[in-house]
Amino acid sequence: MANSLRGEVIKLYKNLLYLGREYPKGADYFRSRLKAAFLKHKDETDPEKIKQLIARGEFVIKELEALYFLRKYRAMKQRYYSDDKP
């Protein structure tokens, strides 16, 4: 049980680290916050609490993806549509 959760936590950390490369405040800022968040809960042993924390991390992944898609959408909209109202 613990090994499967450990693998999930490591996978979550790697995914967040990957997504943090494009964070608006910078990758270093994101990496330091991510590391602090994971170190804060490093001694957690309750499997249910760990699952809740993993679920929170997956929610953060979805929010980051939405943020990046919105940023890309706005950039594309600015490139191809003018703001001039006739």
Q: Can you spell out the DSSP letters for 10-56?
A: HHHHHHHHHHGGG-TT-HHHHHHHHHHHHHHTTT---HHHHHHHHHH
Q: How far apart are CA 84 and CA 86, in angstroms?
A: 6
Q: Are 70 and 76 in contact (CB under 8 A)?
A: no
Domain ranges of the chain: 4-81
Question: pTM for this one?
Answer: 0.78
**29-12-68 Cα angle (round to 5):** 55
- Asked if pLDDT for residue 64 goes beyond 60, the answer is yes
pLDDT of 59 > 60? The answer is: yes
pLDDT tens digits, residue range 5-51? 899 999 999 999 999 998 888 999 999 999 999 999 999 889 999 99
